[in-house]
Amino acid sequence: MHSHILFDVDDGPKTIEETLCLFEQAVLEGISTIVSTSHALHPLYNVPFDVVNEQIVQLQMAIDQRNMPLKLYTGQEVRLAGNILELYEKKQLHTLANSNYLLLELPSNHIPKYTKDIIYSLLTAGITPIIAHPERNRVISENPSHLEQIIREGAVAQITSGSLAGLFGKTVQKLSLNLVRSNLVHTYGSDVHNLNTRPFLFEKGLRFLEKQKDLDMVEFLLENNERIINNLPLIVYEPDDTFTKKWWKFF
């Protein structure tokens, strides 16, 4: 639901061989579906719409030739910008698996004031924005009520497997768990870039939730992932603002 698998286009794999190694690992982890989400409108990377289409066709052919049980879908991780809706309407931006869901990336260190306006414009056009890795946004990590407000405005959020697995440290792991338990997270993605520093950790993140006795949340996140692929409404629970109001007591 969130992956950088296209080769030589952004900060993901550099060669098709590296991409194929990622696919082999995905199969080992029990992954059967991957939505490719190369960067769009990022300060450093902006993978063109047609390049995404072309590589997905090429890579799916390579997968089929190797008899891998893996299905690829188009998508992009779209950095917040004022012209997102315009570009989408001109068919220059991919939603997730051609659905009505768009993976939206906030800047790492702040939340722009016009974020609410972009969310509203997308929702008005029938597109639900999914906030990518909110647990790694500095403003949200300092005060999760900012994410709560974004959710109440109609967006949903995606947690990263590596965050739950501890890849980004204990603080991010603890925050991620609390966001999940507070109904501020709705989907699950790997944000894989490579096999070394940014691997899938898909299964490890889910096992962490299981060890924390959150089996229902594992089912909830995977169910919503499947709903996105099938372009169905997500299961969304009311945010628990008890957590965000008492956030300062956690650290």
Which tens digit of pLDDT belongs to each residue from 198-244?
Answer: 999 999 999 999 999 999 999 999 999 999 999 999 999 889 877 66
- pLDDT greater than 70 at residue 191: yes
CATH number at residue 125: 3.20.20.140
Average pLDDT over residues 5-12: 98
Average pLDDT over residues 72-97: 98
Assigned domain for 3 exists: no
Assigned domain for 162 exists: yes
Q: Give me the domain span that covers residue 54.
A: 16-249
- pLDDT greater than 90 at residue 104: yes
Assigned domain for 107 exists: yes
Give the helix ranges, DSSP H, for the chain: 16-28, 49-65, 84-89, 115-124, 138-142, 145-152, 161-165, 170-181, 202-211, 215-229, 241-245
Assigned domain for 102 exists: yes
Phi, psi of 102 (to 5 degrees): -120, 130
| Predicted TM-score of the model (pTM) | 0.96
Assigned domain for 243 exists: yes
- pLDDT greater than 60 at residue 251: no
Number of domains observed in the structure of the chain = 1
